[in-house]
Amino acid sequence: MQGRRLATTDELIAIVSPDSDAALDRLETWTDDRGIDCSVVDVGDDIDDAYDENRATLGVTLGGDGTFLEGIKSFAPRNIPQLGVNTGTLAFLARVEPEDVGAALDEVIHGRAAVDSRQQVAVDGPGIDATGINDVMIQHVPPENPIDRKITRLDVHADDEYVGEFEGTGVAVSTPTGSTGVSLSADGPVHYPVNNHTLQLVPLHTHQIGVRPVVFSPETELRITTRGQASLQVDGGRAHTILDEDDEIVVTGADQLAHVVRTSYDDHFFTAISKKLGWDVRDADGPDASAGGTTVGADGAAATGDGGTDRTTTTLAGPATSSGTDDPEPDTVDRALTIAKEAAQAAGDPLRELHGQVESVDVKSDKSDIVTEADHQADRIITTVIGNEFPDHAIVSEESARQTGTDSAYTWVVDPLDGTGNFAHGNPNYSISIALVENGEPVLGVVYVPETDELFSAVAGREARKDGARIETTDRDRLDESMLISGYDPDGTFLSHFYQESRGVRRLGSAALNLCYLASGSADATWEYDTYPWDVAAGLVIARAAGAEITDETGQPFAFDLETNDRAALLGSNGSLHPALLDHLERDTGLATPSR
């Protein structure tokens, strides 16, 4: 989950342990001051009455690590991100101190916190079907007579392969988060939990010196068979059962991740284990230890050592834009590029979630509701993130009213869901398009494809990039060697007249994607019968930066006009192919009379 998504938070659910009154008072004062709803639930109680799945919810726990784990049980299945406030003692997981709760939450609602998605472990067997963020422990049941046998034997298979027989107190299957608990006590290694989606099988008090922990992927099915009665506990007893002899359980990585919110008021991971677990490779109060887990950079975004991304701000020093304007203001555009990427990726989260629902909807009105909700959620995230960081800029979005800033030269042009028809039918060819326009000319473009996690971007006058790597158009100049893409083609004229002349014409259903695929060399040309500004603003910057030539159907330079609602035809190519396209348009299709 992208931290920028938290900017749309409009509801808090607080799970509160006893003796947390002072922290709760601070929390409720903060929510009252900002007009955010806050529901309070005692630790151990269900949150169903407080939770509204149609609202952007943040979970907060007030307590120690036990309360934090109870929060995971309630929040993770509902995909709610969770912030832990420490009113306990050890509090390795809950790292925000009560006096910092307001400042930490301010970072959250401005989209400047990071979200660390943690691997969970799932167990299924007789009398148990549970999920935990720390570990699953299978141990010998203490005998009634203290002189009776005190060991257990467990057979373990990994998928279809026999791992072996473990003899001793038992075994633990831990996540990277749980590696600092029972696993560490049993001489297992500490796992850095950020972006670490593994499981670790740890023998407990083994009777063989050569038996060591083993690391598995979360997709591995660990089948554990008891050779006597055994006790099974998840996360220290939050789920538990007694297994009989020859019972089999299956332990694997849970599909649902737990989303843990980290702010600049959290300790770094290694600071936390130095302070609380005696990690003596470094001084707990040494260099960087007081900086917290997150630093807020010049772009206003969180960069963390425990779940975030390190970002820096550079200075624009390139040639004039392809439209002939002067260089954009360096700091603004560089910062805007970072914000646009983060906003697009944050908006991709709910689109992916809702896209997975449309295939199972049979009633047309219900499917329409899902698409409308997808548009709304993505638009709200993007416009909120941009508005937080650039309050003086105007925003034009296909899905919402024009938001006008001051006299700034900058306007953001947003299409939160380009390819709505594809989205509605479960097709993955849809995208998010975000552009920055300076004095009427697009100078920055970001297009994100949620289903494939592809991120296209460019600043006018620089290189176009896909996932950070440079992209450029092809150099083909013959129609019969070229692959073409068609956008809206109402009577099939372009398709029928170009299909036989080329290596094929494809229609993807997203104008922004068409321009990006032209930019990356996946196609040699693209045609759009008519476009709106938000359809093409970002794609224009990306395609031009990659070397594309963009004109109208007559061969005149494409005129981007943000002030009109009139549609405009667009012909884009790698440049080399453009003369052949225009000749064919003039000679055979009747679509245009090119101007030379």
Task: Specify binding-site residues for Mg(2+).
Answer: 398, 415, 417-418, 535
Of the candidates 32, 42, 52, 65, the residue annotated as catalytic is: 65
Residue 272: phi and psi, rounded to 5, are: -65, -45
* DSSP label at residue 98: G
3-class DSSP state of 509: coil
> What whole-number distance in Å separates Cα of residue 294 and Cα of residue 302?
6
> What whole-number distance in Å separates Cα of residue 13 and Cα of residue 71?
10
The residue among 453, 538, 524, 442 whose CA lies nearest residue 485 is 524
* DSSP label at residue 502: S
Contacts of 591 (CB under 8 A, 6+ apart): 493, 494, 553, 585
Q: Nearest-5° angle of CA 299, CA 303, CA 309?
A: 105
Other Cβ atoms closer than 10 A to 462: 19
Enumerate the known binding-site residues. 65-66, 134-135, 150, 398, 415, 417-418, 535
What sign results for the dihedral spanned by CA atoms 238, 239, 245, 246?
negative
Count of helices and strands (H, E) across the chain: 12, 33
For residues 403 and 412, is the Cβ–Cβ distance under 8 A?
no
> What whole-number distance in Å separates Cα of residue 208 and Cα of residue 63?
40
Q: What CA–CA distances, in Å, run from 277 to 184, 190, 281?
A: 10, 11, 12
Reply yes or no on whether 375 is catalytic: no
Active-site residue numbers? 65
